[in-house]
Chains A and B, each alone.
Chain A
Amino acid sequence: MGFDWRWDFTFEILPRLLLATLNTLLAAGLGYAIAVVLGLVLALAQRTPSRVLTRAVREVVEFIRSTPLVLQIFFVYYVGPQFGIRLSPWTSGMIAIGLHYASYLSEVYRGGLESVPKGQWEAARALNFSTARTYFRIIIPQALPPSLAGMGNYLVGIFKDTPMLSVIGVAELMHTANAIGSESYRFLEPYTLVGVIFLLISLPTAALIRVFESWVRKKLGLI
């Protein structure tokens, strides 16, 4: 079997794949938005005086990080209905991938929060700030820059993990490429295109994150 690349077929399927790319971007964006917010909640929950809460959240985070994403996606989508929770593929997918990456991001935040010097807490206390104000005005703005590199890695990571949503029928890139393959019995072009599209988005994103990181540091007056 020789190398048999058909350009006419490539251009025929390209619009369909580009349309599916929008869904991939939407899934990555939504999932990441959930993860960014929920991850912060998980990180802060591990810093409360309540040892029980800290321990419980710690265990949940460890559990999620130690089991495969695809299993979590299946679990939410197929096991949910047995408990009367019937969710669409999109909703299930967003919950699973959002939760999965929230647990990773919570570790990134944890490192960032711990990197803020103790003296900042003491100054905030001496100036009589409430705990909430101390976090949101003093600590989190300083924990952000050291967290950005890790956050950026996981942004690219969640984007590359969206094909897993194809297993429950979310019509993203991988799902569409599979569909094209089974309709036409040609897999070379759709899968290659998927790879190229991922590459063309991932690489500039990683570069943009580095630019953003130094912009934030400058904006906060840290350099």
Chain B
Amino acid sequence: MSEDMSAYPLRLEGDDVPMVRFMNVTKSYGALVVLDSLDLDVAAGEMVSVIGPSGSGKTTVLRMLMTLETINGGVIYVDGQPLTHMEKNGVLVPASEKHLRKMRADIGMCFQHFNLFPHMTAVENCMEAPVHVLGLSKKEARERSLELLQMVGLEDKVDQHPSRLSGGQQQRVAIARALAMRPKVMLFDEVTSALDPEVIGEVTNVIRELVDKHNLTMLMVTHQMGFAKEISDRVCFFFGGKIEEQGSPDELFGNPQKERTQQFLSAVMEAG
């Protein structure tokens, strides 16, 4: 496991530095290779959807970027700086917890099962990290949180605990909670998969508004092809730990080139 780290730049420089760069990233669990030499750039302000069959490694991409998973090879850069590594004596070495904490501040994530803190109200969920991680005053954090809860349409639910909220409402609180940290990159990991069909729209509307009005960089793993087609700048189809095909929504959904992409899309479309 001794990779030659000199092949990786200490930081990315130039005019077109991507917000996120996966460079030759490999992830495996024992003998099982989940991601195989992944190269993927996401430009600042870009919305990239990740689709593919289960087990294709798409969720792992987000989890590595959120530093919930370590990587086995390669380097991930965020805003030009190495995320998974840090510079030491002119070479990249695996990142320390301190470095990860510094870098993680730029990244926010929403999960399939919301993962709200059940013992806190909606507004407390949003305030907790701004107060205790960013060091905002309670007043500032509360104002920021109320503003975001209003944006996601939950101004009348701010003092409710998650157990009193529907799935769609919980996911909207989770989006507000992540945004309260003012990340540069937002990750959505199958955020509508655990929702009842009639409330999916509540959540997709919020994401649509983020795409329209905010200059966030977003990566979204989804099974909702229609939504991905509508709001993405680019769609990546993952298969077997690699990007099998990627392109604009029109290209990928309208005229897929690879056989596996065609098979996957026709299978999903058939299922409705």
A221 CB-CB contact with B under 8 Å: yes
B177 CB-CB contact with A under 8 Å: yes
Most chain A beta carbons < 10 A, residue from B66, B101, B115? B115
Are A222 and B119 interface neighbours, CB within 8 A?
A: yes
Residues of A within 8 Å of B229, CB to CB, are none
B132 CB-CB contact with A under 8 Å: yes
Distance of A139 Cα from B269 Cα, bound (Å) = 41
State whether A127 and B68 are in contact (beta carbons under 8 Å apart), knowing that A133-B132, A222-B118, A222-B119 are contacts in the complex: no
Instruction: Determine the residue in chain A with the shortest Cβ distance to B132.
Output: A133
Distance of A221 Cα from B67 Cα, bound (Å) = 30
Are B161 and A126 interface neighbours, CB within 8 A?
A: no
Are B119 and A128 interface neighbours, CB within 8 A?
A: no
Instruction: Determine the residue in chain B with the shortest Cβ distance to A216.
Output: B119
A47 CB-CB contact with B under 8 Å: no
> Shortest beta-carbon distance, A112 to chain B, in Å?
13
State whether A128 and B68 are in contact (beta carbons under 8 Å apart), knowing that A122-B115, A220-B119, A221-B163 are contacts in the complex: no
Are B119 and A123 interface neighbours, CB within 8 A?
A: no
Are B133 and A125 interface neighbours, CB within 8 A?
A: no
A215 CB-CB contact with B under 8 Å: no
Across the interface, A137 reaches (CB within 8 A) one of B104, B113, B115, B128, namely B128
B169 CB-CB contact with A under 8 Å: no
Are A129 and B119 interface neighbours, CB within 8 A?
A: no
| Binary CB contact string for chain A from 118 to 140 against chain B (1 if under 8 A, 0 otherwise) | 01101101111110010001100
Instruction: Determine the residue in chain B with the shortest Cβ distance to A138.
Output: B117
Most chain B beta carbons < 10 A, residue from A127, A133, A137? A127
Instruction: Determine the residue in chain B with the shortest Cβ distance to A134.
Output: B132
> Shortest beta-carbon distance, B210 to chain A, in Å?
17
Instruction: Determine the residue in chain A with the shortest Cβ distance to B97.
Output: A131
Across the interface, A123 reaches (CB within 8 A) one of B67, B104, B111, B132, namely B111
State whether A127 and B120 are in contact (beta carbons under 8 Å apart), knowing that A122-B68, A122-B111, A223-B163 are contacts in the complex: no
Q: How large is the interface on A (under 10, 10 to 19, 20 to 34, 35 or more residues)?
A: 20 to 34
Total residue contacts A-B, CB cutoff 8 A: 69
Distance of A54 Cα from B138 Cα, bound (Å) = 37
> Shortest beta-carbon distance, B172 to chain A, in Å?
15
Distance of A223 Cα from B231 Cα, bound (Å) = 38
Are A127 and B113 interface neighbours, CB within 8 A?
A: no
Instruction: Determine the residue in chain B with the shortest Cβ distance to A131.
Output: B97
Residues of B within 8 Å of A117, CB to CB, are 115
Are B118 and A127 interface neighbours, CB within 8 A?
A: no
B72-103, CB < 8 A from A: 101
| Binary CB contact string for chain B from 162 to 185 against chain A (1 if under 8 A, 0 otherwise) | 111000000000100110010000
B43 CB-CB contact with A under 8 Å: no
B129 CB-CB contact with A under 8 Å: yes
> Shortest beta-carbon distance, A178 to chain B, in Å?
47
Are B101 and A128 interface neighbours, CB within 8 A?
A: yes
Are A123 and B117 interface neighbours, CB within 8 A?
A: yes
The 10 closest A-B pairs by CB, nearest first: A221-B161, A123-B115, A127-B129, A119-B115, A220-B119, A126-B109, A141-B119, A128-B133, A128-B104, A126-B66
Q: Can you list 5 A-B pairs with a CB-CB distance of less than 8 A?
A: A125-B104, A127-B108, A128-B133, A129-B129, A133-B133
